[in-house]
């Protein structure tokens, strides 16, 4: 049964690949990303371009902290959260 899935961080390494696989399987993907500059944004644009125009793909540039945007996007049945900042600083014990 085809699902409608909200996928955050869709321009990122992991979620972009997940989106592609879900679309291959005939699901609908609402992809959300704020396109932050944690690393070269051209890489994110390149990944996003591979999804843009594919049947069943809808992109929303927004932050997952933006409740109104997420509420509007929330027509999905499932959510996968791939949005997050890589390389979170480690704590050091003294
Ligand atoms: N890549 C790995 O091997 C790996 C391993 C373990 C855990 N993780 C974690 O999984 C998550 C995704 O990893 P990745 O490699 O795909 O990272 P990534 O940085 O390539 O992708 C994350 C995406 O989320 C987006 N994003 C970040 N904060 C956002 C926000 N507030 N609102 C909307 N979009 C936001 C970014 O713009 C980016 O496109 C990260 O939290 C990472 O730490 C990754």
State the pTM of this model: 0.88
Domain-located, residue 19: yes
Q: For residue 39, is it within any domain?
A: yes
Q: What's the CA gap between 48 and 43, in Å, rounded?
A: 9
**60 strand-pairing partners:** 32
Residue given tokens 């961080």 in the structure block: 9
Domain containing 54: what range?
4-81
- The answer to whether residues 36 and 45 touch, using CB atoms and an 8 Å cutoff, is no
- List the residue whose alpha carbon is closest to atom 26 of ligand 1: 83
Tokens of residue 92, six digits: 């050091």
Ligand 1 site-directed mutation target among 11, 13, 37, 79, most atoms within 8 Å of CB? 13
Residue 89 sits at φ, ψ, to 5 deg, of -55, 140
pLDDT greater at residue 19 or residue 86: 19
Residue 57 lies in a domain: yes
Establish how many alpha carbons lie within 13 A of residue 5's alpha carbon, considering only the half-sphere containing its beta carbon.
Answer: 25
Closest residue to atom 41 of ligand 1, CA basis: 84
Q: Which residues line ligand 1 (CB under 6 A)?
A: 8-9, 11-15, 32-36, 38, 44, 63-65, 82-86
Residue 66 lies inside a defined structural domain of this protein: yes
Mean pLDDT of 58-79: 83
What pLDDT, in 10s, does the model give residues 25-67? 999 999 999 999 999 999 999 999 999 999 999 999 999 999 9
Q: Whose CA is nearest to atom 34 of ligand 1?
A: 33
Q: Is the pLDDT of residue 94 over 50?
A: no
- Has residue 86 been placed in a domain? no
CATH code, 44: 3.40.50.720
Does residue 87 lie within any of the structural domains?
A: no
Split into its structural domains, the chain has a count of 1
């Amino acid at each position: 049964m085809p699902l409608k899935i909200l996928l955050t961080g869709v321009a990122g390494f992991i979620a972009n690949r997940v989106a592609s696989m879900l679309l291959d399987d005939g699901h609908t993907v609402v992809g959300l990303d704020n396109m932050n500059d944690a690393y070269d944004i051209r890489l994110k644009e390149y990944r996003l371009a591979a999804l843009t125009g594919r049947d069943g793909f809808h992109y929303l540039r927004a932050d997952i902290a933006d409740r109104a945007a997420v509420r509007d996007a929330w027509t999905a049945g499932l959510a996968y959260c791939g949005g997050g900042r890589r390389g979170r600083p480690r704590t050091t014990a003294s």
